[in-house]
Structure 1
Amino acid sequence: MLLAGLLLACAACGPQPPQVPPDATPDPQATARFALATGVTRFDPHRATSSYDNTWLFPVYDRLIHMDPAGDAVPGLAESWHYGDGGAYLELVLREGVVFHDGEPFDARAVAANIARAQTITGSSIGAELETIVRTEIVDDHRIRLHLSTPDAALPLILSDRAGMMISPAAFDDPSLDRRGVGAGPFRHVDFKLGNRSVYERNERYWRPEDAGVARLELLLIPDETTRLNAIRSGQIQGATIGTLQIEQARLSGLNVQTGVGLEVLHMQINRARSHFGDRRVRQAMNHAIRREAIVRALGLGYGEPSVQPFPEGYVAHADELGRLYYGYDPDRARALLAEAGLADGFEFELIVPNIPAYLPLFEAVHDQLAAVGIEAVPRVLEGAQISERFYGATESDAALVTWGGRPDPSQTIDLLFTPGALPNPGDHSTPEIIRLAAAARREIDPERRAELLKAATAEITREAMDVVLSLPSSTFASRPSVQGMRVWASGNKPEFRGVTVLR
């Protein structure tokens, strides 16, 4: 073993959850406790830095536009929207009668204030997502136009994410906003213990009351997946995200399990400005060296989608013409490509590996497959925060074995990972054709023409071997039988708890 000290823990057999009577009904006064693997950076959505913050933020902050479980844009605080003047502006028609948790009214002025703050506040993590908005025009109390520097087809789904979360303007300068959110969502934020627990209570004035199916919601941080599963079994919590290796354990324990492939990407992300990764032949060789189907079978028990593309089959940006496995497992072809690149004797590179147990066997598999064609991956184990600092910030390592959390709109993933100027693209490497296709897809507001441009961009990214995608992992949530309404979302392991109830 290259990485010593890996301790494999077996989940203890826990008690079977009680059977739910067939005539059980939802308890409107119930408390629901769910555990997550990743904590929240802060409760100010304009400055929160991780896409996995969303699960902690969704209960308290309503968004202008919602995303349904399939990944489509649906009405939220905006009842409808449309582009005007050929995409020169996006007009939102806002829901009437909505108030923030502190009693402040939600209206067009609140939207304009939120967009201005998100664009200008020091430390904003979403300002770049709103950079095409050059000014806002308040048409009336419940209509606002977002005037754009260029048509931006990604904007509706961008507004379904943190960029569309509405903070009460009265709380903008509240020093406690990082610890206690003030929004207009289905739950009010009532307590937060750093690194441990966040508590929410039903917002009785929410515009769609059925979204708050319990009186009290508690989210707990439990990083260890075995501990999370045992907590569900014992009844300490009602549900949690779990790993794919735990699915059968959970089902044998009588738990409900929802699982499905979303927009997350498990990949060996390479800095294409370092090592030999600027050579397309080297990148193609690495892709041919990986046995993706074997990785999914062995490490995911068949859950997940082996793929070389960053989008799943059936998704609007998936390049159907290339298929999931455009780079089939072919070590002989990998060696030939390395020889063409002048690397017949192979090479070595530094690979960052997260200090998370699930990543260690993955590293072993990737290491051995690359070594078989002469490529030596030298591990550097780091904590999550260190990975952001070292790989993306300081760009001081060659590659990282990480999960991309996905984004609501495909243009966001394409722009952030494969075009210059974005933090998630260390080295800023791209190609003129990818830049051209990405920009064209972002500008095209006709859905059918945009879909063709997105597919073309993904095809070019794949042919250029801009990434070493390993798989599209399954997002999995386990819950006790009394929990109803839990769903898997296209956004990945960032569940929303809208409409979730607990039976009496």
Structure 2
Amino acid sequence: MGSPCSPHIPPIHGCGRGYAGKSIRSAGAVALGPGAVARLPWRAPCGRTACDPIRSRRIGRRTVKYACAPELSRALSFPASPRPRFAHRWDMRACESPTQCITPTRIRGTILIAPRACPRIVSRPGARVVGAYVYGIDRWIGCYIRLLGMLMLSMLVACGSGSGVAPVYGEADPEATLRFAFASGVTRFDPHRATSSYDNTWLFPVYDRLVHMDPDGQPIPGLAAAWDYGPQGTWLDLELRPDVRFHDGSQLDAQAVRANLERAKTVRGSAVASELASIAAIEILDDLRLRLHLEWPDAALPLILSDRAGMMVAPAAFDDPRLDRRGVGTGPWRHVEFRMGNRSVYERFEHHWDPEAAGVRRLELRLIPDESTRLNAVRSGQLDGTNLASLQIDQARLAGLEVVSRVGVEFLHIHLNRTASHFGDRRVRQAMNHALRRQAIVDALGLGHGQANVQPFPEGYVAFDPESGRHHYDYDPERARSLLAEAGVADGFEFELIVPNISSYLPLFEAVADQLSKVGIRARPRVLEGAQISERFFGATESDAALVQWGGRPDPSQTIDLMFTPGALPNPGSHTTPEVQRLAKAARREIDPEQRKVALQAVTRAVTEEALGLVLSLPPATFALQPAVAGFETWISGNKPEFRGVVVRRRESG
């Protein structure tokens, strides 16, 4: 950015008239920038006309004006300056005439932008542009937010491009380093005690699983080359690959697999013991064959073994206190370095059983919580890829990055402790479902990317119930008030809602809280770090609800059992219903695939009708990649990619 672009920034006019004087609460708003701080020591007088025009750029059917400066701040204003309920403070000042420069004297926290018109934008040196987020939604925001997101990158592309010649890439470089960043770190490198499904991304390079999973969620051979159920599902036989080594040089055999599975069931602090509860005994048939004798037929077990429960640790490392920070498995890469809260480094394991798995010699995974920082690092070439927020998708594409996206089994939801507050009453849970405008949240928070849904599974998935559909609870505030009255809380109630200390969750909280407040339900936020949420909400069960994203599981019975049946950590209070428990058990024990599909849909239907969940949407798992990266795939499991077969190509020209 620099010299060709003037620092004088004009207002930008878009697809409509100015803000019509409605309150921000009734019309919604869009926010630019998590944690942005702009301190502008000047204010355009109301007698001043628009700033000097700089450049224009055609974006679709629209022409927008823009300018570049070393640092940019953008703000829109409206006649009234609302005060949010959340922990943001700002002071917006506006001029009356649409031809005048509109500038804030001080913006702290989140910069607000008016919807229902592609608004006038003013930029000025002195603050960074850090992204776009939605703040409170009540109406369709349409093209206005999308134009804003495109505008942000059009400025960067127009002013930051060089010759415009696209680089050409050739063959894969086997000696390359692949650098990737994620918003979530790893809890530990002991897979049996790792507590988050998002740990998997950091564990996959080190650990093979007994069963692997293809991008569509189907089980495929891993360390087990084959598996087969016995009559009526009374056992599951596993046949191991020959000549597989751990990173410490020891051999993987039936003894090592039995030791791993027994440890996963019994080690103190195991996060996967409940998932292996069906295994009654493990019989070694020979060096490469095992028989898992089952307490009951367990149709979920193959895909459970594609998760952390099936990750094989070198037995010599079981009691090594360094295991939490340095994994020892059979995976394509050896774990060579770990810095808590920073990065993890892996190097190719030359004796891996699949020579094509490690397409790069060195893999670096970094923890960068801020979404804009991650995207900027990919744009500048410091990273080869990262996961994106939905509002960054258009920005990444305009920057010339490859964007891959897929809706999977992750979902945003209000995770209720159904034994707290008034949430034990089905009518209250149903009322909350009717109070939410899910499509508005998807349209605004995700610019239309994602799937509005009341079910915990995506449309077309084996456990999705077509009878209930995605809109079983339509937006009906009158019905919500009626249900609350039937439940004896006609005047509403207040509950505590844990909110992650992540920038994109703050506007989501405002949107949800605003919609619930219209039927008298008042959400009181409690902001916690991710690790604290696990400890306080799931462990100590000391709060009413949490606004979080469920990371999904390879098999749908895992999600059903963990969230909606008693005894599992993700079900604080262990609430369920006899019917859901019966149907969940039947779905997990049905070995025939077609019959199991029917059983899974039945339990999903019961969960939906009982309103055991408060699903908001299924956001897409989206990644931005440098053009040199090839072989990267999106997985139905969401933001937990594997790097097997991913390569970095050599740059030949450009």
TM-score range, shorter chain: over 0.9
- Confirm or deny: 8 A CA contact 2:629 2:647 kept in the other structure: yes
Answer yes or no: is 1:7 the counterpart of 2:105.
no
Answer yes or no: is 1:383 the counterpart of 2:529.
yes
Gap change, CA 1:284 and 1:53, over 3 Å in 2: same
- Whole-angstrom CA distance in 2 between matches of 1:399 and 1:99: 45
TM-score where L is the length of structure 2: 0.75
Offset from partner CA, 1:338-385 (integer Å, 9 cap, x none): 122222222221111111110111111111111111111111111112
Secondary structure of the corresponding residue to residue 135 of structure 1: strand
Offset from partner CA, 1:235-287 (integer Å, 9 cap, x none): 11100111111111100100001111111110011111111111111111110
Offset from partner CA, 1:81-112 (integer Å, 9 cap, x none): 11113111110111111111111111111101
- Whole-angstrom CA distance in 2 between matches of 1:169 and 1:393: 29
Match of 2:221 among 61, 75, 96: 75
Alignment of 1:294-443 (within 5 A): 294-443=440-589
Secondary structure of the corresponding residue to residue 302 of structure 1: coil
Match of 1:33 among 174, 179, 194: 179
Gap change, CA 1:442 and 1:278, over 3 Å in 2: same
Match of 2:168 among 1, 9, 21: 21
Q: CA deviation at 1:293?
A: 0.2
Please name the residue that 2:632 is paired with.
486
Secondary structure of the corresponding residue to residue 575 of structure 2: coil
Secondary structure of the corresponding residue to residue 209 of structure 2: coil
TM-score where L is the length of structure 1: 0.97
Q: CA deviation at 1:56?
A: 0.5
Please name the residue that 1:213 is paired with.
359
User: Which range moved further: 204-213 or 12-21?
Assistant: 12-21
Q: CA deviation at 1:18?
A: 7.5
- Whole-angstrom CA distance in 2 between matches of 1:403 and 1:312: 14
Offset from partner CA, 1:407-462 (integer Å, 9 cap, x none): 11111110111111111111111111000000111111111111111100000000
Gap change, CA 1:126 and 1:320, over 3 Å in 2: same
Please name the residue that 2:611 is paired with.
465
Amino acid at match of 1:58: F
- Confirm or deny: 8 A CA contact 1:264 1:491 kept in the other structure: yes
Alignment of 1:141-160 (within 5 A): 141-160=287-306
Secondary structure of the corresponding residue to residue 454 of structure 2: coil
- Whole-angstrom CA distance in 2 between matches of 1:281 and 1:239: 45
Answer yes or no: is 1:266 the counterpart of 2:412.
yes
Q: CA deviation at 1:140?
A: 0.9
- Confirm or deny: 8 A CA contact 1:240 1:478 kept in the other structure: yes
Offset from partner CA, 1:375-414 (integer Å, 9 cap, x none): 1111111111221122112212111111111111111110
Q: CA deviation at 1:137?
A: 0.8
Amino acid at match of 1:56: W
Alignment of 1:253-292 (within 5 A): 253-292=399-438
Secondary structure of the corresponding residue to residue 537 of structure 2: helix
Q: How many correspondences in the alignment?
A: 503
Amino acid at match of 1:4: A
Alignment of 1:174-189 (within 5 A): 174-189=320-335
- Whole-angstrom CA distance in 2 between matches of 1:19 and 1:156: 45
Offset from partner CA, 1:291-324 (integer Å, 9 cap, x none): 0000000001111110000000111100111111
- Confirm or deny: 8 A CA contact 1:251 1:257 kept in the other structure: yes
Please name the residue that 1:444 is paired with.
590
Secondary structure of the corresponding residue to residue 53 of structure 1: helix
Gap change, CA 1:301 and 1:116, over 3 Å in 2: same
Please name the residue that 2:344 is paired with.
198
- Whole-angstrom CA distance in 2 between matches of 1:303 and 1:230: 21
Match of 2:392 among 231, 241, 246: 246
- Whole-angstrom CA distance in 1 between matches of 2:351 and 2:166: 34
- Confirm or deny: 8 A CA contact 1:283 1:465 kept in the other structure: yes
Q: CA deviation at 1:7?
A: 3.3
- Confirm or deny: 8 A CA contact 1:255 1:478 kept in the other structure: yes
Q: CA deviation at 1:114?
A: 0.6
- Whole-angstrom CA distance in 2 between matches of 1:362 and 1:489: 25
Secondary structure of the corresponding residue to residue 55 of structure 1: helix
Q: CA deviation at 1:176?
A: 1.5
- Whole-angstrom CA distance in 2 between matches of 1:82 and 1:298: 47
- Confirm or deny: 8 A CA contact 1:351 1:399 kept in the other structure: yes
Q: Whose radius of gyration is greater, 1 or 2?
A: 2
- Confirm or deny: 8 A CA contact 1:19 1:481 kept in the other structure: no
**Identical-pair percentage:** 68
- Confirm or deny: 8 A CA contact 2:274 2:568 kept in the other structure: no
Amino acid at match of 2:168: P
- Whole-angstrom CA distance in 1 between matches of 2:323 and 2:636: 29
- CA-based RMSD: 1.4
- Segments of structure 1 that go 5 or more residues without pairing to the other structure are none
Secondary structure of the corresponding residue to residue 7 of structure 1: strand
- Whole-angstrom CA distance in 2 between matches of 1:209 and 1:45: 24
Amino acid at match of 1:337: L
Amino acid at match of 2:110: L
Amino acid at match of 1:21: V
User: Which range moved further: 173-182 or 411-420?
Assistant: 173-182
Please name the residue that 1:55 is paired with.
201
- Where relative contact order (Cα < 8 A, 6+ residues apart) is larger, the structure is 1
- Whole-angstrom CA distance in 1 between matches of 2:326 and 2:565: 35
Alignment of 1:105-116 (within 5 A): 105-116=251-262
Q: CA deviation at 1:210?
A: 1.3
Offset from partner CA, 1:161-199 (integer Å, 9 cap, x none): 010001111222222111111111111111111221111
Please name the residue that 1:90 is paired with.
236
- Whole-angstrom CA distance in 2 between matches of 1:189 and 1:314: 38
